[in-house]
Every structure is written in structure tokens, then in C-alpha cells.
Chains A and B, each alone.
Chain A
Amino acid sequence: MKAANSSRSKSEISFIVNGDRKTMRVHPMERLLDVLRQELGLTGAKEGCGEGECGSCSVLLDGILVNSCLIPVLQAKDSVILTIEGLAGIAELNCLQEAFLECGGAQCGICTPGMILAASYLLQHKPQATMEDIREGLSGNLCRCTGYSQIFEAVAEASRRKATA
């Protein structure tokens, strides 16, 4: 349960999410996570801890990996946001998602959207990520199911496939 300002003065905020421009009236200190989930119905970003520790709420904000639970929505004004829902087409999975499916990178699935966005951000910056890069790049995304090893395999596999594609 998260309380924001109870005298909830709202302002108009607009940004582009997954390619669509969205404009809404929200309290400027509302968390981006809540706006995505409640106002826009984009429930792929999850709340695991509410304090930037678990990474389940990861999204890309102007191409940068962030924890959306730590972003007051006013700081997302006029930005371009990518959530898990916008990562691939409706029917197909992208290369990372395919690799996660094959390698067992998703178990309960609650950390998965954040993990995939973090991995995607990593591979964008380090296409030939080493195991050390992968471990570091995902260290802000907690997973309690896998022990991470099959996630590492999936990211390494996606990196290989991208290199040979």
C-alpha cells in the first residue's frame, strides 16, 4: 500500500509509451510504476519491493534502464518509455524472450519482465557480453526461483544468436 499526497492536486502529463502518446491527469509525485499499471493498464511492470531493490518494475526511460517504482511521474514527462508489452510484436517473441523460453529463464515469471528489459539494456550496450558482464548487468534484478543460472544461459544464448544473425 503506497500513500502519496492525500490532497491530490493533479497535473497533465504526457509521454510516449511503447510507441503511443499518452496524456493523462495525475499527481506529479505518483510513481511511474503506478501510472503505468493503474492508469494505462500496462501491468507487465511488477512491484516487488517498492524501494528499487528488486528490479521487477524495470522499464526503459529514454532508453535508460530504471526502476519505475523510484520515478515520480513528473520526471517521465515528455519521455519515451518502453515496457515489456512494447518489447516484441504481439504474436512473436524477440530473440531474448525466445532464449528465455528455451533455456528456462522464466519460472514464476514475476521478475521476468524486468529481467528481460535489464538483459535487453545490457545487450544493447554490450552485444558480446561476457559472463561477468551478464552477472553485473542483472545484479539489480532479483530472482528467487532460478538461482540465475538459466537466466545467464538465456542471455548468453541471445547474445550468440544476435551475433550470428
Chain B
Amino acid sequence: MSLKENLRIMIVDDMSVSRALIAQSLDEIGIKHYATENDAKVALGKLAANPVHLVISDMNMPGMTGLQLLRALRSAKTTQRIGFILITGTPSPDIVREGQQLGLNNLIRKPFTSATVKAAIESVVGKL
């Protein structure tokens, strides 16, 4: 079974259209096992109970930002090794610096395409 058939991903984004676009990119890439979540705090609970290989998360979300989600994942033993890709329209130096400190694996700039999503995932997990 190929990597993309095994890979389990969670998409975290409060905006339904962004979630749908990321999901569509995963469909195009051929990734079959993914879940979507619109609330970062709920996502954190689900990931703690059932970790995935990779999280693709928006940065700006109410209640908990993408970087706060990353920090929470890195601080728990069961989730600290989950790959994490942040999506943002404004990758400021502060976001990049904090992301690097927290062990962010990659960053996708909006607007993204399926090709940029695939390239970002491959940089984390290897060739799909």
C-alpha cells in the first residue's frame, strides 16, 4: 500500500470553504484518509484520543490559533510527533519564528493550489 493510501491527516480550519478546498486538494492528490474539524480545541481533543500522521491547520481561528494548536500538540506525549503544516495568508516573520521554535514542519501561503499542498505534504512525509 502506498504512502498516500496510508497517510492519515486532519484538516483544521474554521472557514468551511477553506476546509473544502484543502479537502479537495487531498482528493486530487489521492489521499483517502482525512478528517476535517472547524474548531481547534475540539481538534486537539480528537487528536489526543486518536493521533494522525499530519495536521494541516489554518492560522487564524477563533478560540485557538494554529500556532496555539501546534504548541498544545507538541506539549503532549501522544501528539508531540504529529507533523504540522500551517496555512496562512500572512506569514509574518513572527509567525515563522514562533512556528520554527515550536517545531512547525511546513507552511502554506494562501492562496494555495493542490500543487502547493502536495509539495508541502511531501516535504514533511516524503514523496507521495
Asked if A and B bind, the verdict is no
